[in-house]
Copies of this chain bind each other. A is one copy, B any other.
Amino acid sequence: MIYREASDGLRNLLGIPAHYHIFFTGSATEIWERTIQNLVDQSSFHLVNGAFSKRFYETALQLNKRSLLIEVDPGQGFNGDIDIPSGTELIAVTHNETSTGVSLSPTFISSLRKKNSDALVVIDAVSSLPYPDFDYNAADAVFFSVQKGFGLPAGLGVWMVNDRCIERSQQLLARGITIGSYHTLPSLLATEKKYQTPETPNVLAIYLLSKVVSDMNRRGMGKIRKETEYKALILYQALDNRKDITAFVTDKALRSATVIVAETGNLTEKVRALLQENGLDPGDGYGTARHSQLRFANFPTHAREHFELIVDTLEKL
């Protein structure tokens, strides 16, 4: 069974506890919407530090929730105490801001749940999983899409939710609130029991995910994490060794291991051209940083030699 192979494989790879369910959707963008529909009555609370965490917040507004946010500038993040209103239904955290290369520490995220035990804590881990070692017992839902860290074609979101989420959605439904149709948590749960989905899903993507996960399980997450950290370390070191090109995220505790953003300023096109000469193709900076930054994805599929070549190229600049 394709569903079961992917689901069991992920559970093993990431250490997902038994009280979590693993559901498949069309995208992580869809999961933003399903999260708000299924888990929020009046309002959610969003930690916003870039374009993607902002869109999660805006999704809640589009669904007519009176959601709140705490926002910091691009390149900044969250790590200390945050004043979250009591009675908050759901706290939405973007573990890795793909737009800025800021990553929040799993320890910080766990602290949110401990200090706000009545709220559901939901982690957007789109551009970081499988790398982060989350304490799933200190969160309620975690989700990602397969085209980032799992290196697969786009078109599949993976939504991992615990029993508290299921219960919350059932409560909303019992009160006559619409929580959607085919992709509600109760509907996903009913079909998951048979390792099926409510709709005819992207079977090919689920199949490919099961194979990639199986391969990652063979390599082992310990090794994958170490390699990810090595590749990030040498690139950040190369950036820290220069003055003309720097790491956009200055607070080392907030630097993402999986999306590394270089502040390249006027040198952007020169750096890009040099990298391209060596067969390397960095991503554009996001949005308004399009012409002043370059972004380097550091996923399990990116080879160590690849990063050593980036570093060599930057050193020759």
Contact = CB atoms under 8 A, between A and B. Distances in A.
A137 interface: no
Interface string A23-43: 001111110110010000000
Contacts of A201: 26-27, 154-155
Contacts of A182: 29-30, 32-33, 59
A3 to B, nearest CB: 13
A181 interface: yes
A27 B203 CA distance: 12
A205 interface: yes
Report copies per complex: 2
A30 B199 contact: yes
Contacts of A178: 62-64
A204 interface: yes
Given A154-B203, A176-B64, A181 B33 contact: yes
A106 interface: no
A36 to B, nearest CB: 8
A200 B181 CA distance: 22
A145 B176 CA distance: 31
Interface in A199-250: 199-205
A147 B200 CA distance: 9
Contact of A155 (B33, B184, B203): B203
Interface in A132-178: 145, 147, 153-156, 176, 178
Scoring A28, A200, A202 by chain B CB atoms within 10 A of each residue's CB, the highest score goes to A200
Nearest to A147: B200
A200 B154 contact: yes
A15 interface: no
Interface centre among A28, A181, A205 (most CB of B within 10 A): A181
A198 B154 CA distance: 13
Nearest to A154: B200
A172 to B, nearest CB: 12
B181 A63 contact: yes
Contacts of A184: 62
A223 to B, nearest CB: 28
A2 B154 CA distance: 14
A247 B243 CA distance: 79
A104 B117 CA distance: 55
A17 interface: no
A180 B63 CA distance: 6
Contacts of A155: 26, 155-156, 200-205
A30 to B, nearest CB: 7
Q: Which 3 A-B pairs have the closest CB atoms?
A: A26-B26, A155-B202, A29-B199
27 contacts: A26-B30, A26-B201, A27-B199, A29-B182, A30-B182, A30-B183, A32-B181, A32-B182, A33-B182, A33-B183, A36-B181, A58-B181, A59-B181, A62-B180, A63-B178, A64-B176, A64-B178, A145-B200, A153-B202, A153-B203, A154-B202, A155-B200, A155-B202, A155-B203, A155-B205, A156-B202, A202-B205
